[in-house]
Homo-oligomer: A and B are copies of this chain.
C-alpha cells in the first residue's frame, strides 16, 4: 500500500478544544501538529526546540519581550529556542506547528495549560 494522504481541513474539523495541539505527522524526529487557539496563552520559551507557526485561519499575535508580530493566514513565523513568546488569539486561530518530538506546549512553564500527553488526530 502506498502512503496515505490527509487533509488539514478534515483534521481541524476533529479538534474541538483550544490550545490542545494534536499530532498529524511524524518525520525525522519532528512532529507536525495542528491546534486551535482562542484567547491568550502563557509566556514561555523552549530550551532546545525551535518552533514554526503557520497560520491557516485567523490572525495570531505572537508577543515577544521586545515587540509583537501579527501573523495572518498563509504566513509563518519561526521562534528560535530560548526566545520567550506568548501566542494570543483575539479571534479563533487555526495553526500548524512544527517542532521536535516531545516538545512541551508550555515549554519551561508547567501549569494548567500544559498538555502532558499529545495525541494524534
Contact between B28 and A49, CB atoms less than 8 A apart: yes
Count contacts on A: residues with CB < 8 A to the other chain: 39
- Bound-state CA distance A77–B88 (Å) is 30
Binds B, one of A35-43, A65-73, A108-116: A65-73
Given contacts A74-B7, A74-B8, A75-B7, contact A98 B2 (CB under 8 A): no
Chain multiplicity (copies): 2
- Which residues of chain B are near A30, meaning CB under 8 Å? 28, 30, 98
Can you name 14 extra interface pairs (CB under 8 A) apart from A3-B78, A27-B50? A1-B66, A1-B67, A2-B62, A3-B69, A3-B83, A6-B77, A7-B75, A7-B76, A8-B75, A27-B52, A28-B49, A28-B100, A32-B52, A32-B76
A-B contact pairs, 30 of them (CB 8 A): A1-B67, A2-B66, A2-B68, A2-B69, A3-B62, A3-B64, A3-B69, A3-B80, A3-B83, A4-B69, A4-B77, A5-B69, A5-B70, A5-B77, A6-B75, A6-B76, A7-B74, A8-B74, A8-B75, A8-B76, A9-B74, A24-B76, A25-B52, A27-B51, A27-B98, A28-B29, A28-B50, A30-B30, A32-B52, A32-B76
